[in-house]
C-alpha cells in the first residue's frame, strides 16, 4: 500500500517475518499481566510477530530506503529473503536506489546492505549516525559478523552526528537508547509530515501505554524515556508515524480519549 505524505510516496518493503515470545522480549514491570490485555497482538503461542523489511520513499528523483531488512537469514525466529523481490513489485531495482538511511545497525535492519561482501545497492549513499558506526564497526568490542556485513560500505558511507536535513524533505533526529546511534527520520512535504521511528518501539503497546521495557535496548532507562517522550509528542501533534516492525508497515496516529491512548491506522 502506498501512503502519500505531501509529494512523497511511502511504501513498505516486505522482507519476511520474525517471531519472539512476547513476555520474554517486551515487559511492563508495573503490570506483570500486561499482555493479558493485548492478546489480539499475539499468535496462539504467545508470540509477537515482527514484520521485517524497510520503507521505500519516492521523493522527486530520489529513491530512498529506510533500513534494509534481515537479508537471507532463516532460523527458528527470523525468516527473510523477499526484500529485492518486494522492491521489484514496485518497479524498482537495487541499482535504482539513490540513498539508504539506517535507523540503527542491528542485524534485522542491515540485512540487504551487503551480501557475501558485495554492496547490494551499488549506486546508493548509505547514511547512519556516527555513534552506531563506531559501536558496531569500529570499537574493539564490535561483533565480527556486523563488521563483515558493514565494512564494505565504507566507500559509500556518510555518517552524521547532529540533527539535520539529510536529503530534501528528510531530516534526522538522534535518540540514543535502543542503540548508541539510534535515529528517527522525519519526512516533510507541503504541510504534511511523517515520522519513522525505527526500533524506538517494537509494538503498538509501547506507544499507547507507559512503562514497557524491551530486552533489545542497550540502555534500557534511556530507551524507556525516549519512548515516553515520543509517545507524548505524537499524541500532541497528531502526526503520522511508522515503526520498523508494525504489522503490514502500517502508518498511523496516536489519538487520545478520556486519558487513554490508542493507535489509529492510517
CATH number at residue 202: 3.60.15.10
What is the per-residue pLDDT for 100? 98
Contact 199, 216 (CB under 8 A): yes
Average pLDDT over residues 108-116: 98
C-alpha cell at position 223? 530507551
Domain that holds residue 225: 2-23+39-265
Per the CB < 8 A criterion, the answer to whether 56 and 5 are in contact is no
Summarize pLDDT for 40-82 with one digit per residue, the tens: 999 999 999 999 999 999 999 999 999 999 999 999 999 999 9
In a domain, 99, yes or no: yes
**pTM beyond cutoff 0.95:** yes
> How many domains, the chain?
1
pLDDT at 178: 98
Inform me whether the pLDDT recorded for 259 exceeds 90.
Answer: no
Q: How far apart are CA 64 and CA 189, in angstroms?
A: 15
Is 196 contained in some domain? yes
**Does any domain span residue 34?**
no
Q: Could you tell me if residue 32 is inside a domain? A: no
Q: Which of 222, 215, 234, 242 is nearest to 181 (CA)?
A: 222
Question: Is 56 within 8 Å of 11 (Cβ atoms)?
Answer: yes
In a domain, 28, yes or no: no
The answer to the question of residue 214 being in a domain is: yes
pLDDT digits (tens, 9 = 90+) for 182-237: 999 999 999 999 999 999 999 999 999 999 999 999 999 999 999 999 999 999 99
Domain-located, residue 188: yes
Q: Is residue 131 part of a domain?
A: yes
Amino acid at each position: 500500500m502506498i501512503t502519500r505524505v505531501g509529494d512523497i510516496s511511502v511504501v513498505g518493503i516486505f522482507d519476511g517475518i520474525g517471531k519472539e515470545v512476547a513476555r520474554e522480549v517486551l515487559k511492563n514491570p508495573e503490570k506483570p499481566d500486561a499482555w493479558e490485555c493485548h492478546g489480539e497482538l499475539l499468535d496462539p503461542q504467545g508470540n509477537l510477530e515482527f514484520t521485517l523489511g524497510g520503507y521505500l520513499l519516492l521523493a522527486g528523483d530520489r529513491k530512498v530506503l529506510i533500513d534494509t531488512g534481515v537479508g537471507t537469514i532463516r532460523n527458528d525466529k527470523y525468516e527473510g529473503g523477499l526484500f529485492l523481490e518486494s522492491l521489484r513489485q514496485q518497479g524498482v531495482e537495487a541499482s535504482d536506489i539513490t540513498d539508504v538511511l539506517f535507523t540503527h545497525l542491528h542485524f534485522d535492519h542491515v540485512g540487504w546492505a551487503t551480501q557475501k561482501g558485495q554492496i547490494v545497492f551499488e549506486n546508493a549513499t548509505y547514511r547512519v549516525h556516527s555513534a552506531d558506526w563506531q559501536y558496531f564497526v569500529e570499537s574493539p568490542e564490535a561483533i565480527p559478523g556486523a563488521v563483515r556485513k558493514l565494512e564494505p560500505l565504507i566507500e559509500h558511507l556518510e555518517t552524521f552526528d547532529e540533527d539535520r536535513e539529510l536529503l530534501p524533505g528528510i531530516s534526522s533526529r538522534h535518540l540514543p537508547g535502543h542503540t548508541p546511534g539510534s535515529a528517527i527520520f522525519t519526512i516533510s512535504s507541503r504541510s504534511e509530515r511523517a515520522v519513522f521511528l525505527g526500533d524506538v518501539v517494537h509494538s503498538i503497546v509501547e506507544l499507547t501505554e507507559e512503562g514497557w521495557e524491551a530486552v533489545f535496548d542497550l540502555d534500557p532507562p534511556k530507551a524507556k524515556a525516549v519512548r515516553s517522550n515520543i509517545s507524548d509528542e505524537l499524541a500532541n501533534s497528531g502526526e503520522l508515524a511508522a515503526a520498523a516492525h508494525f504489522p503490514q508497515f502500517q502508518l498511523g496516529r496516536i489519538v487520545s480519549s478520556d486519558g487513554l491512548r490508542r493507535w489509529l491506522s492510517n
